[in-house]
Structure formats: structure tokens, C-alpha cells
A = this chain, B = another copy of it.
Amino acid sequence: MDRKVRMGIVGGGYGAFIGAVHRIACRLDGYIELVCGAFDVDPNKSKEFGKEVFLPSDRVYGTYKEMIEAEAKLPEGERMDFVSIVTPNHVHHPVAMAALSNGFHVACEKPMTVNVQEAKELQQKVRETGLLFLLTHTYTGYPMVQHARKMVQEGQLGKIRRIVVEYPQGWMAQRTEDTGCQQASWRVDPTQAGGSFTMGDIGTHAANLAETISGLKITEMCADLHTYVSGRKLDDDGNILLKFEDGATGLLWASGIAVGEENGLNIRIYGEKGGLTWRQEEPNTLIAAWLDKPKQILRTGIDEADDTRVPPGHPEGYLEAFANLYVHFAKAIADVKAGKSASPQTHGFPSVDEGVRGMAFIEGAVESSKKQSWIKFPV
């Protein structure tokens, strides 16, 4: 039986950050093998980069189209099983559509596309093809995030009343995009990033985290986005009031200019009977508070052992969370290859529906902020 799953990559060459992360995440648990890639818009750079990652030269392609065509012709058991898309946002949609059209499963970075329209097309395509689609909302791969979600589902917190989710970063507090940092420049370029920097790059993670843990969908929003660093075309900071299903309310803020913040995603969620606090930078701890008993310190490996590799107190972090999503996705692909059914729901990974909501969140934030008023959530 062929349990190893084969990955091709589009993007993630020299100067990229998230491409390397995807490669590590895939290698970590030994289920996924990188077999091909189109790493750069410059075919020469793509070729050269292929050597860095030990690929044979005939599996390193100049363009994603070339890769998809060539791989499709290879025999099963040799050709890639799925494409991982780690390009700037505006390239997600065409690559994903091409991959799906040629029968390949897709793993895609968030935000899924640059607008809701594209997102819905992709959703439609996934439904039509029946292929698997992984949207890498990394932070849902942490064991304590899944534990929080389970606690809410089991009703331990009672009816949810309030959600506060924050995603502060400080690396864009100055004109980082002028320093030759490729990571910075595309993120504040509307043609590559879409309509919002903060909400597209990080706010969408925060919104997804809130919806994932609470199981509640955002229904209304009132946003106030700002550009603090002069000369930027996109926002670099934003605050949003939220209303959720079932009467819950909340706050979301995301910022690139919060000096001193590294990657400070965190969430607090309060129900009738209990409350939870989780911080991404110390991801193995989940604080649970209760109406009538002491606060508890819940810990990876003790209170939640799923998706862990080492005993309690041996910290697992971001790469492991990322790997968890890929393991779930790889197992789904392996099951499909073995003739079994598999889905995001059964195998546990974020997918194209989350992508559509993510794009709607971004568009809604931009619209609400422009109008300076409450709006209904766009989808």
C-alpha cells in the first residue's frame, strides 16, 4: 500500500518565509514527500532553488502551469498527489483552479483569494471536483485550540456570551517595505494582497480562530481601519466590533504597528459558566476559569494529548501546529487513495468554506470601515 503522500509546491523560493514553513511542516511527521515544485516566477531561480531542497532537476518547473501539466502525465505513485500554494495572495486562485481542474488536491495559504468572488468560484470548483482542499489556518492546528473547541462543543462553558480576539504585530511599525524585505512589500501592495493588509494577513486568522473555537458565526461587524505609516495604500491597523450568532458579541483587533508585539494572536472567550484564555506565543497552556471553582491551567500533553509528539513540558510550537494540519490532510488524501471517503469535517482541517468566510470578513471590514457603520456579515 502506498501511504506516503506526494507534494508539489508553487511559490516559496528565495526570500520567502512561508514556503520553508510548509516544507518543514510536511517533512516533520514523515507522511509527506516533496516531489516537485515551481518555486519562483523566474524559471531560473526556480530551478536553482530546486537544488536547495534536494529535488531532481526534472521535477523542478519554470511555472505552475508547466508543473501541473507535466505532473498530470506522470503515473500514479510517482506524480504529486497535491499542490501546496504558497505564493502572494493574488496567485492563489489561478493556481488552485488549475490544480483542481487537473485532478490534484490543493493546500492553500490564507487569505484564500483576493476577493469573495474568487473565493466562491473556488468553493464551487472544490464541490464540483470532490477534491480535498486545505486552507492553512495554522493556529487551529494547536492542540489547545482544538481542546478549547471541544470544551465549547461539550457545553462546558455554557452559552457563549463574549469573545475577544486579538492579533497584534509590531514589525510594520515603520516602513519595513522600504528595507528590501519582500515579506513586507507584497503585503501592503493592493495588487498582490487584496483590499486590506491587517485583516487579510492576520485579522482573518483571528476571525477564523474565534469562529472555530466558539462554533458561532459572525453576523454583523463595525470596523475602523487605519493607516498609520505614511505612504501606505493599505491599512496597517484595525479595530472591529462583532456580533455573533445566538447573541454573543465580541471584539477583534489586528495591527502591524503594535510596537513590541511579535505574533501575539490570542483569544478570550466567556460563556455563562466558564471562560477560556489562549495565547499563541505560549500555545501549550490554556487557562480555564469557572463560576464556582478555581481557575485551571490546562496543558498540552496532559489535558489534550491529540496531535502531540512528545511528553508534557516538551514544548511543541508553530511548526508542529502547521504539521498537524498537514498530517490530517495527508491522512485524508491517503484515505481517498485507498478508496475511502474523507472530508475536512471527518479528518479535521480548515477548508474552502472557511476561505469564503475569510474573504467575506476582509471585504466586510473594509466596507464597514469606509462607511463608518455597522454592516451585516457579507455572506
A232 to chain B: which residues have CB within 8 Å? none
Q: How far is the CA of A319 from the CA of B322 in the complex (A)?
A: 14
* Contact call A263/B302, Cβ cutoff below 8 A: no
Chain B nearest CB: distance from A359 CB in Å?
A: 23
Q: Does A294 contact B (CB under 8 A)?
A: yes
Stretch at the interface among A71-79, A189-197, A221-229, A350-358: A221-229
A272 to chain B: which residues have CB within 8 Å? 173, 228, 259
A3 to chain B: which residues have CB within 8 Å? 54
A224 to chain B: which residues have CB within 8 Å? 222, 241, 243, 249
A243 to chain B: which residues have CB within 8 Å? 224
* Contact call B253/A251, Cβ cutoff below 8 A: yes
Chain B nearest CB: distance from A15 CB in Å?
A: 13
Closest to A183 in B: B311
Stretch at the interface among A21-29, A111-119, A128-136: A21-29
Interface residues of A in 222-277 (CB under 8 A from B): 222, 224, 226, 228, 237, 239, 241, 243, 249-251, 253, 255, 257-264, 268, 270-275
* Contact call A237/B309, Cβ cutoff below 8 A: no
* Contact call B24/A290, Cβ cutoff below 8 A: no
Q: Does A305 contact B (CB under 8 A)?
A: no
A373 to chain B: which residues have CB within 8 Å? 373-374
Chain B nearest CB: distance from A122 CB in Å?
A: 27
- Looking at the complex, which one of B261, B283, B298, B301 makes contact with A275 (CB distance below 8 Å)? B261
* Contact call A315/B312, Cβ cutoff below 8 A: no
* Contact call A312/B30, Cβ cutoff below 8 A: no
Chain B nearest CB: distance from A184 CB in Å?
A: 11
Q: How far is the CA of A20 from the CA of B171 in the complex (A)?
A: 36
Closest to A166 in B: B164
* Contact call A315/B283, Cβ cutoff below 8 A: yes
* Contact call B313/A289, Cβ cutoff below 8 A: no
Interface membership of chain A positions 155-169, coded 1 if the CB is closer than 8 angstroms to chain B and 0 otherwise: 000000110101001
A4 to chain B: which residues have CB within 8 Å? 54
A70 to chain B: which residues have CB within 8 Å? none
Q: How far is the CA of A67 from the CA of B275 in the complex (A)?
A: 47
Counting from the closest, the 5 A-B pairs by CB-CB distance are: A260-B289, A262-B313, A263-B313, A315-B317, A314-B318
What would 20 A/B residue contacts be, using CB atoms closer than 8 Å?
A27-B27, A27-B28, A27-B30, A28-B28, A162-B228, A162-B255, A162-B258, A170-B275, A237-B249, A257-B270, A258-B270, A259-B271, A259-B274, A260-B274, A263-B311, A263-B312, A263-B314, A281-B313, A295-B297, A319-B319
